Structure 1
Amino acid sequence: MTFTAEQDALRDSVRKLLDREAEPWPELCEQIGVAALAVPERFGGLGAGTTEMQVVAEELGRVLADVPFLGSAVLAVHAVLATGDSEACERLLPRFAEGVVGAVAWADADGRWSVPACHVTESTVDGEAHYVLNGDEAEIMLVMADGSLYEVSDFRAVRTPAMDETRRLARVAFDHSPARLLGPVDLTALRDVACAVLAAEQAGAAARAFELTVEYSRQRHQFGRPIGGFQALKHRMADLHVLVETARSAAYAAPESSRLAAVAKVHCSEALATVAGEMIQLHGGIAITWEHPAHRYFKRAHGATWLFGSPGEHLGRVRPPLS
């Protein structure tokens, strides 16, 4: 993989800001413009591509940043763009570019993203969407229903407890809520973009979990020597290194096609889960304490695995059809 000088500079800027800011979202928007990345220039954005969004997501994944980037700057922005509605783009995208939080209500209680949870009857939306990214803090609520995107202002959003406390999810209910049609949306294409960016986030989290594990193996001593010097652990570290590198490659290849987006979702989910699990094992007892970050990477791995559909569901898109 090769990156441009601008992409490397973006990565460096995001990493430095995340290192110094406890609540990074305002600064990410004001100083770097991450909320405006996917917004075309004519709507007040930066007009960047998917790779730039992945660069940011990879850095956010490294520190498990609790910010509305994936749900708002990626999913909500691309959902509006996918409608092709010029009026909606002119009205909503400049607000997203400024950092206003948007959310897309989509999945049902079983975590299915292939069919929207809500439905429309005579310009009103009914239903309850689950696992809505940043749904409880969204100023702009978008709803996927019957193959189209709607804007709704009357809704009830409640943050739902999640094992991964660094991912803000909500349950959003609609009861004959007046809905404004924005336009039809290709659900598969929209989910592919979300999966590609999520895969980069997972790759970043896996890389950092691996780095922390390697560092610990050099510090912890058994039988008078660092545990990282034992042959068995060297083999395990080598396997984890391969997983991290292949996950990163799969993530950045994801935008090339729908099939590669599915490959990235499957492989990056499994890679992060494996690395996080090994992180727990190789750290020993300290890894299950609240003070150590290992448990947070493990929880992020579990939650991210099911976001936008399970690996098993996406694996069905990777396998060629039986003749």
Structure 2
Amino acid sequence: MRHSMNTMPTEIGQMGAEGIRDLVKRATALAPIATYAEQSEPPVSWASIASAGWDLAGVVEDGEGATSRDLVSMAREWGYGCIPQPLLPTLLAKRHSAVARECDGPVTFALALGGQSLIPFGTVDGISFVTTLGDNGGTLMSMPRGEQDGVDLVARGVRTSAEVTTSMTEGVAKEVALVFAAEALGGAERLLADSIEFVKQRTQFGRPVGSFQAVKHKLANAAVAVESAETALIWGSQRSEEAFRSAMFAIDKCIDVAEIATQTHGGLGFTWEVGLHFPFRKFLVAAHVAAGLETVHG
């Protein structure tokens, strides 16, 4: 017997994705990521996120609420902006922890990562991390001592002792992996869009770089990678047993897009001002996170 699969998000997911897309566009005006990724005041304040209820967008009550597929759609739109605010960790924490939902401010969690723990947005003032996700119990803790993560500069994380780790159920771990991958997908789409715009404007030999066959082929490959990542995440959100594999496949495709974006920008792709490295670094951390979650929960 064949089992049907609805690949579309629910109305909650559609409305959530549209709202977040509008929030990102209004807040950033789609300015270059480098213009705001390291600012002390991000283009979207936490107060505006909380007042609109985005931190509670993942909460399920009485069996009704966002699905994993919905979270993928929302995380994808947020990832396009590459905004340094802890929306996604907080959304996940408050979805899976009653203790976290009682907190008015942002909440994050600690992930095992290469003999250490990574706490996304651990350097954000006033943020707490939750010790348990998906089971009853757990507490909110203040940030432990640690060193600032030097890879994903947007997430402003803290690396600390491996003993400081949030306990998660297998289902929660799969959703975390999917959401991190979906955020990466949004970032890859942004890199592709920026690359297309760049090759339209950049000229060589009196012609736009984008008119060259080799450049067209590279960007076509990037577009295929984005579509492949999207398909994988939809599949993983509908088939729990495929969640980790789908997330890691999608993140690998996003890394491919980042490499192509760097190439199509020429030498400028390696400069700090262009900002391609901000999503790229995020993809690299997401890959380690997904792999680490599968090791523990797969």
- Per the TM alignment, residue 238 of structure 1 is displaced from its structure 2 partner at its CA by 1.4
Is 1:196 equivalent to 2:191 in the alignment?
no
TM-score between both structures, scaled by the size of structure 2: 0.78
Identify which of 82, 85, 89 aligns with 1:67: 85
Q: Determine helix, strand or coil for the equivalent of 1:240.
A: helix
- Per the TM alignment, residue 5 of structure 1 is displaced from its structure 2 partner at its CA by 5.6
**Which residue does the alignment assign to 2:17?**
11
Larger Rg: 1
1:103 maps to a residue whose letter is T
Q: Distance in 2 between matches of 1:78 and 1:49?
A: 11
**Which residue does the alignment assign to 2:238?**
256
Kept in 2: contact 1:155–1:173 (CA 8 A): no
Q: Distance in 1 between matches of 2:251 and 2:21?
A: 23
1:15 maps to a residue whose letter is R
- Per the TM alignment, residue 202 of structure 1 is displaced from its structure 2 partner at its CA by 1.2
Identify which of 65, 68, 76 aligns with 1:58: 76
- Per the TM alignment, residue 166 of structure 1 is displaced from its structure 2 partner at its CA by 0.2
Identify which of 90, 94, 119 aligns with 1:77: 94
**Which residue does the alignment assign to 1:93?**
101
**Which residue does the alignment assign to 2:138?**
150
Q: Distance in 2 between matches of 1:153 and 1:219?
A: 49
Q: Distance in 2 between matches of 1:174 and 1:260?
A: 27
**Which residue does the alignment assign to 1:30?**
51
**Which residue does the alignment assign to 2:35?**
none
Q: Determine helix, strand or coil for the equivalent of 1:135.
A: coil
Q: 1:3 to 1:70 in 2, by over 3 A?
A: closer
Q: Structure 1 residues 271-280 or 297-306, which shifts more? A: 297-306
Q: Give the CA RMSD over aligned residues.
A: 3.4
Percent identity among equivalent residues?
Answer: 23
Kept in 2: contact 1:266–1:312 (CA 8 A): no
**Which residue does the alignment assign to 1:40?**
60
User: CA deviation digits over 1:125-169, x for unaligned, max 9?
Assistant: xxxx61112334465432259x99632547624352322210121
Identify which of 192, 201, 210 aligns with 1:219: 201
2:65 maps to a residue whose letter is G
Q: 1:202 to 1:152 in 2, by over 3 A?
A: closer
More strand by share: 1
- 1:263-278 aligned at under 5 Å gives the runs 263-278=245-260
**Which residue does the alignment assign to 1:85?**
none
- 1:233-312 aligned at under 5 Å gives the runs 233-309=215-291
Kept in 1: contact 2:229–2:250 (CA 8 A): yes
Kept in 1: contact 2:210–2:216 (CA 8 A): yes
Higher-RCO chain (CA-CA 8 Å, sequence separation at least 6): 2
Aligned residues: 274
Q: Determine helix, strand or coil for the equivalent of 1:150.
A: coil
Name structure 1 gaps, 5 residues minimum. 81-88, 112-128, 318-323
1:77 maps to a residue whose letter is K
Identify which of 6, 9, 26 aligns with 1:20: 26
Q: Distance in 2 between matches of 1:174 and 1:214?
A: 41
Kept in 2: contact 1:37–1:73 (CA 8 A): yes
